[in-house]
Amino acid sequence: MNYHIMDLEWNNAFSCRHGKFVNEIIEIGAVRLNDALEHQDEFSQLIKPRLSGRLSSIVKNLTSITMDELGEGVPFAEAVNRLGKWMGEEEHVVLTWSDTDLHVLLENFKKFLNKRHIPFLQKYADLQKYLQHRLEIPGGNQIALANAAGQLEIDLTGRDMHRALDDSRVCAEMLKTVFEKESFAGFTADARRPDFYRRLTFKNRYITDVKNPGINKNDLRFTCERCGKYAKRMSRWAVRNKSLSAVFCCGSCGHMFRGNVRIKKTFDETVVTRSVFPYELPKEGSSDDK
């Protein structure tokens, strides 16, 4: 098994053909580690842009890449063909720092090559997620690459950060530091499975329409937290902070409260979070809860 740690740099350019801004890849860098996590080889390629003859100021400042340098690059199709040959047929996992690079790569395959999959991708792992798991960093707090390197005491002196190859080198060092075979397997996805790209491109969403057929009506019922009897809804459902919210009153003890239901649709499941808050009578003249 080989581990290909890959990083991309891209320019946000406007596409007249697609009528929107597109993240056009301008550089690919990658490092190959073998099964023993020993350094084997590196890949670096500049890509000649198709959409724009200018780089955004952010890209210029972060990468120091110039249009003259990119003019010496190769078309995207040639770049990914070279990358695929470099990765080879041997079993391998491709890793990136967060799955943003993978989304951008897939977007470029669709826009420029009319392909809806990445041919050389066998297995994939999000290194950022795996490292946060190993360092016990909460999933909601995404750690930056430089900060992660600092926590692992990886020296960045002389590194050309925000360049694809050096970022890949840093990621490779981090993988070596935190790697544990059994736990890593749980963060690896088989890109050859039929549902891989549907899962990758699925966007989680909150259901805020009370008439949505995906809502289980039982999730909209509340019992009184004081006496345990069913409470009656006294107001229309309203949307508050991505949640459905309504006022309830217990017919047994008269206790009033606000019930909130947050319904999140993911690729695999519907996650329902329910909460209860004290009810405050609306101020005089307020239209709240009418």
pLDDT tens column, 78-88: 999 999 999 99
Q: Integer distance in angstroms from the first to the last C-alpha of the chain?
A: 63
- The model's pTM: 0.84
Least Cα distance to 249 among 228, 227, 234 occurs for: 234
Within a domain: 85: yes
pLDDT of residue 288: 53
Same domain membership, residue 195 and residue 65: yes
* Count of domains for the chain: 2
Residue 18 has pLDDT above 90, yes or no: no
Q: Tell me which DSSP letter residue 136 carries.
A: T
Other Cβ atoms closer than 10 A to 163: 19
Look at residue 7 and give its three-state secondary structure: strand
Same structural domain, 73 and 106: yes
Phi and psi of 201, rounded to 5°?
-90, -5
Write out pLDDT tens, residues 121-131: 999 999 999 99
Q: Which domain holds residue 253?
A: 205-278
DSSP 202-242: ---EE---TT-TTS-GGGG--B-TTT--BEEE-S--EEETT
pLDDT mean over 26-52: 97
Judge if 125 and 7 occupy the same domain: yes
Confidence of residue 284 (pLDDT cuts 50, 70, 90): low
Q: pLDDT at position 15, please?
A: 80
Mean pLDDT of the chain: 94
Closest Cα to residue 44, out of 66, 71, 73, 67?
73
How far apart are the C-alpha atoms of 115 and 109, rounded to whole Å? Answer: 5
- 210 and 193 in a common domain: no
Q: What is the CATH number of the domain that holds 108?
A: 3.30.420.10
Contact of 152 with 178, CB cutoff 8 Å: yes
